[in-house]
Structure 1
Amino acid sequence: MRAVLAGTVIAEADDAETVLIEGNHYFPPSALRAGELIESPTPYTCPWKGAAQYYSLVLDGRTHHDLAWAYPTPYPSAIEKVGRDFSGYLAFDPSVRVGP
């Protein structure tokens, strides 16, 4: 599975390493291949997953604001519902092409 932005692979992992939640592929943090993530102050709390951390991605000198997000400490009930611990896994904005 790859996440591609402007022709650059920014994340890549085996399908078995990603977690599909509500149509979004969540990549393990080690899957990041290009760019630099910068924590964003944008707040969001999902009613069933918990508090999200948004990230901006700096790629080729350009900052893409709030392009990715993760749940650093999802609710235990969310991990149970998903069937796998997805703490810190990254999902990407729809402007990022995600697929094989």
Structure 2
Amino acid sequence: MKATWNGAILAESNKTVVVEGNHYFPADTINKQYFRDSDTHTTCFWKGVASYYNIEVDGQVNKDAAWYYPSTKEKAKNIEGYIGFWKGVKVEA
């Protein structure tokens, strides 16, 4: 699977985990130069507290376009630390 936005490859892996229709990428498969920490946090009742990244490519910013769970609840341990995408990021094989 490959995650792209604004012409840049954000992540690429054949070991994504699919949860609720979203592909979660292992943390070591992202291209970190495009990721900036965000102050945004949300809570999922069964996964836990999510943290976000802003994606920045060629001076354009896609706010909170990637998220991850640094410490999940028990039922979501398989995606702990993995990164998911939305807000126009294309995820395809």
Taking structure 1 as the reference length, the TM-score comes to 0.84
List 4+ stretches of structure 1 deviating above 3 A. Answer: none
Shift of 1:94: 4.2
Tell me how many residue pairs correspond in the alignment: 93
Q: Distance in 2 between matches of 1:28 and 1:50?
A: 18
Structure with max Cα Rg:
1
Tell me, yes or no, if the aligned pair for 1:29 and 1:88 is still in contact at 8 Å.
yes
After superposition, give the CA deviation of every residue in 1:15-73 in whole Å (9 maximum; x if it has no partner).
xx110000000001111136431221112000000000011012112221101000011
- Between Structure 1 and Structure 2, which shows a larger proportion of strand residues? 2
* 2:39 match: secondary structure: coil
Tell me, yes or no, if the aligned pair for 1:8 and 1:34 is still in contact at 8 Å.
no
Extract unaligned runs of 5+ from structure 2. Answer: none
Q: Distance in 2 between matches of 1:33 and 1:55?
A: 12
Taking structure 2 as the reference length, the TM-score comes to 0.90
RMSD after superposition: 1.4
Answering whether residue 4 of structure 2 is matched by residue 4 of structure 1, we say: yes
Extract unaligned runs of 5+ from structure 1. Answer: 80-84
* 2:28 match: secondary structure: helix
Tell me, yes or no, if the aligned pair for 1:34 and 1:59 is still in contact at 8 Å.
no
Amino acid at match of 2:81: G
